[in-house]
Each structure stands twice: as C-alpha cells, then as structure tokens.
Structure 1
Amino acid sequence: MRRAGILLAFWGALLAAHASEDYPPARWVPAYSGNYTVSNRPSTYPIWYVIIHVVQGSYNGCISWFQNPSSRVSAHYVIRSSDGEVTQMVRHKDIAWHAGDWWYNCRSIGIEHEGWIDDPKWFTYAMYYSSAALVRHICRTYGIPRTRSYILGHVEVPGATHTDPGPNWDWDFYMQMVQSSAILEEASVPLTLRPGETASALLRFRNTGDITWQPAGSTPVRLGTQNPRDRYSPFFTPGSWISPNRPAAVAATTPPEAYGEFAFALTAPERYGTYEESYQLVREGVTWFGPIVTFRIDVVPWDVVYDNTSENFTVWGTWSTGTTAPGKYGADYRWTSTSPNSTAYARWYLNVPRDGYYDVYAWWSQGSNRSTAARYEIVHRGGTTVKAVNQQTNGGKWNWLGRYQFIRGTGFVYLRPKAPSGYVVIADAVRIVGPMNPLRR
C-alpha cells in the first residue's frame, strides 16, 4: 500500500483578472483616487485596528459608490453576502476614508459587508467565514491582537454617527471564527486501497489561533467531512470514527501554538475508482476553521500472489525443489513426477479477502518434460472446477484459470500429478484478482 502527501484546498478561489497584492484571495477593484489618502503605512502610521462596517446596501452598489468621485468615502475591502467574495479597493498602505475619525482612519483597515443592519439574513455563514479569514490575515500581518479591543464596529469609533454593524451582527460567533485558525503540518494517508481494506491516517495541525482545542466537552475540536460539508464519507470506519462525517477528535488538549493530532482509520468501499476525500477542522457548535485538506485514494482490486514459498502453500507426497528452470516465479518452484494413480498434491489456500468473484491465475516454468494435462482444481463457492493445462507452453507468465465466486476466508487451488506417466508437473505460484463482476454466460 502506497502512501502520499496531501493536496491542500483552501476555502475560496483566486479570482481571475486582478488579484489583490495585500490579500491574494480578493479581487482588486480600485476606488476612485480622490476617495482615499495615499500613504506608506505602517511606516507613516501603525496599523492597530480593524473596523467592521455594514454597507446599508448591495455589494455591487458599494463598489460603485467607492468609485464615484462625488462619494468622498472608501473602505479597504467589501465582502459579498451570498458567497463571501472579497473585493479590495484601497491598499493597506493607504488611508481609506471609512471611520469618520481621522485618527482611526490612519490606524485601521476598514471592511464593508453587504447588507442592512436591521435584516439579519444578509449576515450569512459564508460572509462571516470569509470576513474572519480576512481579519486573521490582517491581524497576522500587522501583529494586531485578535480581540474586541482591536476589532471594532463602526459604532465603537469615538464620535461615530453610524450604528453598524448593528444588533444583528453576531459578535460572539464572529470572534470565535476570527480566533480559530490552524495550519496543516503533517499528513499520512493511503494512496491506494482495496475493497474492504482498512488503513490508518494521521493529520497533524498547529493551533495558530487563540483558543485551546479540547477533545471533548461542549465544543470539542474535531475533523469533519467537507465538499460538501458534513457529507457521509464512503471511507467511514465503525469503531474508529465518531460518526460517518466525523473521523476523529483532537487527540489531546491543544493550546495555541501547540500541535494537535487527528488519527483515524479509512476502510475502502466496494466500488473501484478514484475517490476524493476532503476534511476540515470544526469546533462543534461554533465554527469550521483551518484549511480544507483534500487527498485522493484509488480503490483497486485485490491482487494477491501465493508463491510456493508462502505459508498458504502446502504439499502432500513427494515433491522436490527446483531452481534452475527459466521463467520461474520467485526463487524456486516445486515439482513431482506424474502418475495415473498418484495421490500427491500441491495446495494453495486462497483465504480470499472479500466475498465475490475472483479471477484465478497459475504460473509455471515450461519445458518439454512438463505434463500436457496438469490437473488444477479450483475449490470455490459453487463446488470444484477442474482445469487441465499444458505446462509445456505459456511458461513464465500468468495463465487464467477462470473466474469463480468465493466466500471471504475460503478458497483453494490444488495441483495434482494424476496424469500419464513420464512427465512432471510444476507447482510454482497462484494469483487471484478481484472481486469482479460475474462473467456473462
């Protein structure tokens, strides 16, 4: 089973034409140059605050207003309600005219949110989530504490004549989002699995937020399924997972800047194909946070080889070990002479991993002294099927003996030298591949 690294899919996409230099997930649509003051912050003024506004209007209307020479106002960012799209209109280094107080304008970054303060439906999860991600970025860039003393509503600016973001803005929920963040530091996941096969996975995050992660309690931090959120994972493993959409909780209490581990099992579904699994951290009852972690798993057939050196291989009677014949599988093979009355046999116990139909193959080294009627017997759910094969040809490769139905943990292949005298049979390797669909008759 191969293992591989992770593809990270961070929430939101980089928007085409003009991306923001200050915050790459944002579009860059500049405000009218006469609606802000060109500066060189933080050299000219320190950036100490983030100020939260509500537009009292639409997203596009706000953008248009900041581009209007007669408006004499601007903000650094505007966020859309429906999906959290972010547009930057004033660079961080410059002073937007948003707070109604010159001292605060000089020392803050302003963020407008689409909507009306008396209508809470505009304050969507997508907008809160996007805004919180932006605020985390700003605070991290300028060393701003992620607290309400430094993340202000417009109404809290001294001398403010505005009341936004208003009573319907959920400050508790929003600040939990702002204060919850994580970085993926390590990942170990399987790249390939077979149907029903179970393998371990481990994701390790650094807590880059301000809140201690708890494994239990009223707001535990867990790993949840994404894309779509809370989906039922086809790799759900009873006994390992908390539920079909929660693989694991953080292993131990994890304070800020510590590392939290999420260990869980993955059990492959029955259907073959490439599956894309996405997960994200969630503080239950509060918020999702951190990167969306995406990885791909190929579910492929079981392909099991039983060589003559395997513990699943046994013989009865007199069998010799050979090493010189070309085309052998592995280091050696077993052989014995044929006889019409022979009671000897070689046996491979298949111990099939899952119920279903499997293709069965045999491998031998060919030679002119081989039997042309080597008797293979396949013991399967429907009984025993006999296949007589010519071992003078087709050596050094896998030869198909048929497709048969097996119950998990069962299955045998016998090779008997019960054939005309004067030859030998070669017991080398047997292989199964499946489960497969039954053959059409």
Structure 2
Amino acid sequence: MSPRCRALTLVLSLSILAAAEAEDGVPLPRTPIGVPEVRGCWLTQYVYLGKSEAQLRAIAQNIKAGHMNTVYVAMYSGATVYWPSRAYKAAGGAWGSSTTDYAAFLTDVFHSEGLKVGAWFEYGMAVGPATHPLAVAHPDWLARDINGDPVTNENGGFVFLSPGHPDAMALLTEMVRELAANYNFDEIQVDRYRWGRKSSAGREFGYEAATASRYLAQYGVNPPADVNDPQWVAFREGLVNAAMQQAYTAIKGVNPHILVSSVPVGSYGITQHMQRWPAWVEGGYLDLVMPQMYLTSLSAFRTEFNTQKALAGAHVDKLGVAYRASEDNDWSLVRDQLNYARSRGVPHAGLWVYHQYTSQIAIQDEIDNLPLPGRPWEALAYNPFVSERMLQVVVDNRDGAPRYVESGAWTNSAQPDFFRFDSRITAGGPPATATFSAALPKSGRYDVFVWYTASSNRNDAAAYTVTHANGTATVPVDQRTGGGQWVRLGRWVFAAGPLAPRVTLSSAGSTAGEYTSSDAVKLTLTGYALGDANGDAVVDAADLALLDGCPTGPDGGPVGAPCEAFDFDDDGDVDLVDLAAVQLAAQ
C-alpha cells in the first residue's frame, strides 16, 4: 500500500471507530448476539394453516420468548405440499393450497420477527397411504418387500418411494431444489430419507424391480431372500446415501450458502431403516444432523446420546439433538437432557413439537421455563450454521402493490410455465411497464434473475431495467425461448434500504403481434459491498480490519472476493474514490 493510501486508512480508522459508538458513547449493537447454539422447534402445518399474519407473528414471538432462534416449518407433510411445486404436481400430487404460497408467506413473516427459517421436508421418501395419487400413478416407484407388498407399518400403512428408482429420486431432488431456488429459506431440512419397515426388525424393503435390477447388474445375482445379508444391506444403504448426496448437491447448486440438515430416527435407523447418517456427514453432504432422541427418561437418553455421539466421530461439531418435548414430557426432563448433552459438547437442539394436541402448545412449558435464570437457555443464542450471506429476495406478480405495480394494459397469460400461480402479458403497441420493488436488508452484490413465460409470439427484446447503487442497467431478453425458469440478467451492487424499485420491465419497442411476459424477479446476495466487508449491515472497525491490502489504485484490479466490498463504484478496482466512500459510509 502506498504512503498516501496508508494515511487515508488511518483517517478511516479514526472515523470508523468514532462511528462505532452511539452519541451517548454506548457501543452500537452488533450481530450475531448471544451464544452460538441452534435452538429450534418444528412447526406443523396443522398449526399455521388458516392463521392470519397477526396470529403467525404471535407464534413467532412466542418461539422467541423461549430464546429459540430457528423454526422448521412443514412444507412437505400430510401427503401434500404447501408451496406450488411444479415437480410434485407434474408427478400426480396436489398442492395444499391453490391460492396461498405458504413457503413465501411464512418465510417473510418469521424472518421479519427475527427467526431463521428452515423448510421442513418432512415426508421425504414417504408418500402417504397406498391410495395416494402419486402411488397410484407410479406403482413402479414404490419400495416393496419380497412378496411385492409396498405397505409399511408406519403411520397406519404408508408406502415409500424406492431410493433405487431414478425417477422417484429425481422427483424429490427437484422438489428440494425448488424450495432452495424459489424462496428465502435459510435451511432445507431433508427428513425421512430412508427405507420404510414392516416390523421392529426392519430391512424388509428393496425387492421392487428398479432396485433388484440394479443389484443384479452390479453383482450378477438377484437380491438374497435374507434381508440382513451384509452385501444386500450395504447396497440398499448406499442407495439412500446417494439420494441424500443428490439432494445436497442440488440445493448447494442453487445457492451454496443454504444450510442442509436432516433429522434421522434414533440409532435403530441404521439397523432397521438402513439410514446410515454418519456416511452423510463423513461424505461432506450434510451440514447439520439432529438425530431424534425422543426418550422419556434421563438414563435412556444418556445411552442413546452417547451412541449417537460416537456415530458422529470426528464430526461432533455437526451434531445436534432432537428432543421430545411434547406434553407427556415434563419440561424438567428436557432441561436435564439438555444439560447432559451440553455438558458433553453438543448444545444444538430442536424441540418436538410446536403443535396443539390439547389446550396448549406442546412445548409451551419448555418455552416458559428453559430461558429462566440458571436454566439451559437463559442466555440468548444465534444459529451459527446459517450463513449471513444467505439472502434471496423474490418478487412475484401475485404480490401486488406496492411490491408489484403495472402500468398499461396487462392480462393473465394462458402459458403453463409460470412462477407460482400465474403470469401476466401485455400486447405490443403503447408501452406498458411492470415494476418489481423490494426492501434489501443488506448492502451487497446481488445476482438478478427474471422469470417469464416463453412463446413464439413473445417479445424478442423485452427490456429489463435494473436500478442499482451506481445507476441503472437495461438488459434485453428474448422471451421467445428460455421461459419457465430463472434467467440471470447480471450482477450489480445494491445498497441496503426500504422498499424501492429494483427491476422494471418495459414492452417499449414491441410490435402489435408481440407479447411481453411479466412474472417474477429474484435478487440473490453473492457478496458484500459498500464498505460492509463482513455482512453485519454496519460499516465499522471490523470492516476496517479487512481493508488493509485491498487498495489497488485506478484500473489496478480486478479485486478479489475479500476486497470487493470496498469497490463502491463497481469498476473493478479499489482506488481513492472508493476509499473516500468508505469514509463517508462509516460516518
């Protein structure tokens, strides 16, 4: 760094340190706050369905009153889905609602109340009863025992998808990919990735044609009748492992900052369901695992906990505990179990379950008691597994004003490849516009995507104008092809701020026979900007510590990722113009 740059850095240091305190000298709050512990609970669809926004906010505030920081909302449960999943519908399933996208609704509400939000993919390979439309439409997808029977003894006779059937696993992979790509979930929790069972002995399934043919191709013989044959067991475990890895890869391919977790059954999951979760963490395709330790005595819990901790091996840092905290458990037992796990280096916890079996919420006694002085959750906590870079903002035409505003003549489109529930079109002629507005909680570099419906009569140069921190940029898009998916326009710097126009679509220049499609916009945070190098939404001394070595001088770039936050004008270098802007940002 030149002497001039070092001098400016000193000035910046003084100004930033001064700005790091409020006028009364009290340090400004910084995030995260509290101890690094996952404290979550599972929220069933039976609780949130039909609730108003005010009622949902009351639920969120109740969860936070228990000093919890994460809520896992049921998205695939009750033999249906609670977001408009195109993959699930195409396979024969039905949506839980044709008018409300609960994935969007719940993430918006719970995030605004300060909670991290996980999409609980509860059913996983479980389908529902044998009469479920998916099971009827695809009988070859189902796992079967040696007699060809797909019915398990779980949930009154559920059937399961076979991890040996590529099309069945492709469906699940696409469903979790949708949750990752189309919403602002911090976490995708992949549940029930395992075989079903008929009895407490388990391991009965895997004799369906898809799996049997793969075994024959690999070993040259048909699967053995002995369900406990070591080679046969390892083969079926491997299919489950491969399915989990496939889901993980799909989610991370959308956004590497999304946390991927799972809640496997107890230690019997390996011996009965062939659910060998240690392979998932060892293989690097699971970020957090919280085995179900639903024990009703402390001694039984200790035994199960020590078994699960041993299975985690060198990956205890990825281990949490799912506690049974329903009404038949006194809160003091959960307290004692928490204390035991925490004393052995496993503080991360989830409480089963935020559900109303009787007159009160099942975990209300834990919410009321665990945060009290001297108890395990007295201190506040933050979820250390969730990346501060995990931020996706989606605006859909169904959002309406003020997030989505049209001018000119627009109508609903008949094209099927819309985002969520429908899309809009306008004919060429007098110009029409559609403006997508969003609030951005963090300054940063964002990838901007658009979704439209494609057709041969679409506008071949639909003009999308992006309004960013350094001006505007207009990108023409040929809407005759490439619809029904996210199409990237580019990457720009945006300043944190309240609701404001981010992308405007115009039909200007289109002819009378051309139609412009308006559907959705997505902004995905990819890196920090405008001096906020650590992403805590404040420009302060912590950012200054990252500035040394970043100045390049005019046209001296490109700058690397650690320094891109200081390239205010997004011109590829960090020069005196940028450093002066850092100084102003810190004042």
Same fold (TM over 0.5): no
Structure having the higher helix fraction is 2
Q: Pick the structure with greater CA Rg.
A: 1
Structure having the higher strand fraction is 1
TM-score (norm 1): 0.36
